């Protein structure tokens, strides 16, 4: 039970913080084919969210299916945008318009462990262990009728886990790089 609570906590942390990011294996487009299935890098991972797609080094614009659908009806050309759909637990990348030649595609994704994972990524243990363990303890304490059940203390651990997850998301978005603190004025006109 403890191992599953820890895995579930790591999954929740990864989904909320988006800190486990990786480029999937580069693949080439097929002329006229708009849809491509995205596979996680290992059997220990699931794709949580697609963060970006580049086509021959140029970043594509993400779009809603309603907007992209018009581009799918046009003749083949260099794709300008993409849409992500989930079909039968598989992420499907749709390029729009369909490619007119072979292009190199790199997809950057946020990952999470699978529920059946037998190991977790080193960064989860080495960098983000505090929020993951705090959430695991909170989850365990929320199980009713156990000698370790304690809903009041569980809420304290949940708050600690949430704070750590927010910090991880901020660091994941902005990195660990110190930016300039200078403020530049901008003209009104």
Give 136-189 pLDDT, tens digit per residue.
Answer: 999 999 999 888 999 999 999 999 999 999 999 888 777 654 544 455 555 655
168 occurs within a structural domain? yes
- Assess whether 50 and 25 both reside in one domain: yes
Rounded Cα distance, 3 and 34, in Å: 41
| Buried/exposed code over 137-169 (b: 16+ C-beta within 10 A; e: otherwise) | bbbbbbeeeeeeebeeebeebbebbeebbeebe
- Assess whether 73 and 144 both reside in one domain: no
127 occurs within a structural domain? yes
59 three-class SS: strand
How many domains does one find in the chain? Answer: 2
pLDDT in tens, 57-74: 999 988 877 766 666 666
Tell me the residue range of the domain where 164 lies: 2-13+121-174
pLDDT at 65: 75
Which of 124, 112, 123, 80 lies closest to 98, judged by CA? 80
Rounded Cα distance, 172 and 15, in Å: 12
Do residues 18 and 48 lie in contact, with contact meaning Cβ atoms separated by under 8 Å? yes
pLDDT in tens, 108-143: 999 999 999 998 888 888 889 999 999 999 999 999
pTM of the model: 0.80
């Amino acid at each position: 039970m403890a191992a599953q609570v820890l895995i579930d906590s790591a999954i929740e942390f990864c989904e909320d913080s988006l800190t486990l990011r990786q480029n999937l294996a580069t693949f080439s487009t097929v002329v006229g084919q708009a849809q491509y299935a995205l596979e996680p890098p290992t059997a220990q991972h699931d794709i949580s969210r697609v963060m970006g797609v580049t086509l021959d080094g140029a970043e594509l614009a993400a779009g809603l299916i309603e907007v992209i659908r018009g581009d799918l009806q046009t003749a083949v050309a260099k794709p300008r945008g993409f849409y992500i759909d989930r079909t039968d637990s598989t992420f499907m990348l749709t390029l729009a318009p369909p490619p007119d030649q072979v292009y190199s595609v790199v997809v950057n994704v946020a990952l999470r462990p699978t529920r059946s994972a037998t190991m977790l990524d080193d960064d989860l243990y080495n960098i983000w262990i505090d929020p993951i363990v705090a959430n695991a303890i909170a989850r365990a304490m929320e199980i009713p009728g156990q000698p370790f059940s304690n809903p009041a203390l569980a809420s304290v651990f949940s708050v600690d886990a949430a704070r750590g997850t927010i910090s991880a998301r901020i660091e994941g978005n902005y990195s660990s790089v110190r930016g300039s603190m200078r403020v530049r004025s901008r003209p009104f006109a």
